[in-house]
């Protein structure tokens, strides 16, 4: 709260100084909703194709395609947000005794350009960094969208179920 109880807009700043400040959620939300709507339209189109190709009910076909899209987004967002996508190379290099090339300066280091590397680096550094990933708002919103798609698909499928 600002002076006299007035609210001030909060602008998030990335830990990377090269990046610009992030816009407030209020300004980003319309774009997120548009992308969410496009995803729902694509899942509906897939559901219509399934409905035309099979004997499934339209609501069930669309519901299951929404559940599939939601599951996919949950997997992608969870892997990116949990740091699992950072672990791949780091785990392999730690296993075979490789080194972390993240901080290599090929422009100013002649030894690196010629392939002669004498510096020892900790091969577990990237693995440890992958286990503690930085905040990833994109992954968060992918998981939120995945939950919303899966919930909408489950509701559509359950509400359209035929008794019997």
All structural domains of the chain with their residue ranges: 31-159
What is the predicted pLDDT for the residue at 152? Answer: 96
pLDDT at 24: 83
Write out residues in the chain with pLDDT < 50, as ranges: 1-2, 13-14, 17-18, 100
pLDDT of residue 39: 95
Model pLDDT, residue 162: 72
Distance (Å, whole) CA 29 – CA 152: 19
Question: CA-to-CA distance for 28 and 156, rounded, in angstroms?
Answer: 28
Question: pTM score, two decimals?
Answer: 0.62
Task: For 153-163, give one letter per residue: b (16+ CB within 10 A) or e.
Answer: beebbeeeeee
Q: What pLDDT, on the 0 to 100 scale, is given for residue 50?
A: 95
Mean pLDDT for the chain overall: 75
Per residue in 47-85, pLDDT (tens digit) is 999 999 999 999 999 999 999 999 999 998 887 776 666
pLDDT, position 130? 57
């Amino acid at each position: 709260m600002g002076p006299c109880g007035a609210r001030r807009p909060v602008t998030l700043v990335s830990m990377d100084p090269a990046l610009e400040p992030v816009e407030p959620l209020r300004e980003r939300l319309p774009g997120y909703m548009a992308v969410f709507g496009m995803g729902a339209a694509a899942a509906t189109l897939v559901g219509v194709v399934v409905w035309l190709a099979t004997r499934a009910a339209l609501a069930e076909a669309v519901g299951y395609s929404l559940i599939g899209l939601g599951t996919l987004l949950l997997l992608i967002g969870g892997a990116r947000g949990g740091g699992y996508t950072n672990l791949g190379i780091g785990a392999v290099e730690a296993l075979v005794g490789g080194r972390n090339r993240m901080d290599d300066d090929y422009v100013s280091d002649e030894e690196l350009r010629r392939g002669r590397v004498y510096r020892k680096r900790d091969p577990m550094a990237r693995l440890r960094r992958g286990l503690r990933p930085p905040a990833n708002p994109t992954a968060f919103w992918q998981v939120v969208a995945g939950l919303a798609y899966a919930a909408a698909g489950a509701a559509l499928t359950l509400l359209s179920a035929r008794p019997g």
